[in-house]
Amino acid sequence: ALLEGNIKENTGVIDLPICPNPTDRPRQIVSTEHGKPATTRYEVIEHRKDRTLVSFYPLTGRTHQLRVHSAHSLGLYGKKADRLYLHAEYLEFKHPVSGKIIQIEKKADF
């Protein structure tokens, strides 16, 4: 992800429970009362002027987890931009029918 602003810590773990926002679906919110566990590990790759290039490693798979964690914990997501700057460079999963391991890799263009 390419995030607005600068992250001071080069690595970290964000552990905040999230759930759908009951008044603004399908948006998600952090909620210690109603949220399900959500954990994301991150690593700063590069600082670029007033932006930070970050690799995220979601340890859970909640809807919009990376966006919510970026906005709530790091405070660097959610501003208007000309495009999305969140990109999955590598995905790996087991095909549900064949059982074959599928690997997809595509470097981000930012």
Reported as a single tens digit per residue, the pLDDT across 34-81 is: 999 999 999 999 999 999 999 999 999 999 999 999 999 898 888 888
Rounded to whole angstroms, the Cα distance separating 54 from 66 reads 11
Q: Cα 105 from chain centroid?
A: 17
pLDDT at 81: 85
Q: Are 10 and 25 in contact (CB under 8 A)?
A: no
- Proportion of the chain above pLDDT 70, given as a percent: 100
pLDDT at 82: 87
Rounded to whole angstroms, the Cα distance separating 17 from 36 reads 5
pTM, two decimals, is 0.85
pLDDT at 78: 81
Per the prediction, the chain carries an average pLDDT of 94
pLDDT at 30: 96
